[in-house]
Amino acid sequence: MRSNFSPLEQPAARNHISASWTKTKIKQNEEQENQNLACPEDNRRREQRISLSPVSVSSLGCPKIVERSSWSTKKTNCKSELKTPVPWVIVHHTDTLTCDTKESCTARVRSIQDHHTRSRNYCDIGYNFIIGNDGTIFEGRGWRKLGAHAAGSNSQSIGISFIGNFLSCPTIVTRRQWGGKNPTCRSNQRTPVPNVIIHHTEGAFCNSRTTCSAQVRNIQNYHMKTRGWCDIGYNFLIGEDGLVYEGRGWTTLGAHATSYNPISTGISFIGSFTNRAPNSAALNAARSLIACGVSKNLIKGSYALKGHRNVMSTSCPGNSLYRVIQGWPHFKA
Ligand SMILES: [Zn+2]
């Protein structure tokens, strides 16, 4: 983030955030008015105490803030005042695509405002301030109006939201790490892809890095020797050890769903999931991988999630796994 504090301006923030800011509680909090999630993909609550001395606060001054009136085309009818100084600052992410110019960030803030006012029936965008990846700070409800970003804590906090999805990417076991052979040929994949296709390998289960690595090597042998392909067909594989195994990766064309190969990332759960679903470690790893792909712009933000059976005549990814992914965001048969 850019730091553009003007040394001439007074640190007005001190008037709005309480003196106990020296031990401010920063919460990434999922609660919200109407019981919706402010950070919808991330239910984990993280609390962290930071120590910021009064000296460092007073030397910061105030950054330039894009006033609400200069980006919003809507009139707000929010009535509730926020009693200041507040004891907390609550940090969010918008869980949307990121933005890196003032224009693209303005468009993003407007669409979040639309979502909050139309779909959630809020009086305005929920956050007090919104920050783009270019360093632009947008005034949402500002310092004086009660926010709608952390139910139960709105009256005690200023809610600041960073535009983007900042879920961390899962650990990926590289080809080298699982003992993969080099591919015999490769083609580039055009990214971001509009689809994610879920498979199961329909073979043995595995729940340790040793057994999953061995299983991935078996599958690669089968795809290369028996089927005569250049490489293991899938872009990624997921073990019940909760790890992601690199197949062809993000930027190499896969061989897993014929006509969908050039327009999808193929993710395969290691095992046969007709009569039982993969464990939660594996399911979480897959969801985290998809979120990671979106955050890196390798998967489109508007992607469709499909089972292999939705694009070809096959029972893949097994009835039990198929039932699970039908409940995931972006699923589209
Ligand atoms: Zn399949």
Distance in Å, CA 201 to ligand 1 centroid: 7
Instruction: Name which of 158, 163, 170 is nearest 29 in CA terms.
Output: 158
Instruction: Name which of 275, 277, 197, 276 is nearest 237 in CA terms.
Output: 197
Q: Are 81 and 146 in contact (CB under 8 A)?
A: yes
CA 19, CA 33: separation in Å to the nearest integer?
27
Distance in Å, CA 194 to ligand 1 centroid: 18
pLDDT at 165: 75
DSSP for 175-216? HHHHTPPPPS---BPPSSEEEEEEEE--S----SHHHHHHHH
Within 10 A of 148 (CB to CB), how many other CB atoms are there?
26
Within 10 A of 252 (CB to CB), how many other CB atoms are there?
16
Distance in Å, CA 310 to ligand 1 centroid: 10
Distance in Å, CA 200 to ligand 1 centroid: 6
Distance in Å, CA 8 to ligand 1 centroid: 62
Tens place of pLDDT for every residue, the chain, 333 residues?
433 333 333 334 445 676 554 333 443 332 233 333 344 434 334 434 344 444 444 566 789 999 999 999 888 889 999 999 999 999 999 987 778 889 999 999 999 999 999 999 999 999 999 999 889 999 999 999 999 999 999 999 999 999 987 767 898 999 999 999 999 999 999 999 999 999 999 999 999 999 999 999 999 999 999 999 999 999 999 999 999 999 999 999 999 999 999 999 999 999 999 999 999 999 999 999 999 999 888 999 999 999 999 999 999 999 999 999 999 989 999
Distance in Å, CA 199 to ligand 1 centroid: 4
Query: β-strands 129-131, 137-139: how paired?
Result: antiparallel
* Residue 60 one-letter amino acid: L
Q: Is 220 exposed, middle or buried (0-12, 13-18, 19+ CB in 10 A)?
A: buried
Distance in Å, CA 224 to ligand 1 centroid: 16
Distance in Å, CA 155 to ligand 1 centroid: 50
* pTM given for the model: 0.58
pLDDT at 96: 79
Distance in Å, CA 269 to ligand 1 centroid: 9
pLDDT at 6: 34
The dihedral built from the CA positions of residue 142, 136, 35 and 18, taken in this order, carries a sign that is: negative
Instruction: Name which of 303, 284, 283, 307 is nearest 293 in CA terms.
Output: 303
Distance in Å, CA 202 to ligand 1 centroid: 9
Distance in Å, CA 317 to ligand 1 centroid: 6
Distance in Å, CA 270 to ligand 1 centroid: 11
Residue given tokens 């679903």 in the structure block = 277
Q: Is 25 exposed, middle or buried (0-12, 13-18, 19+ CB in 10 A)?
A: middle
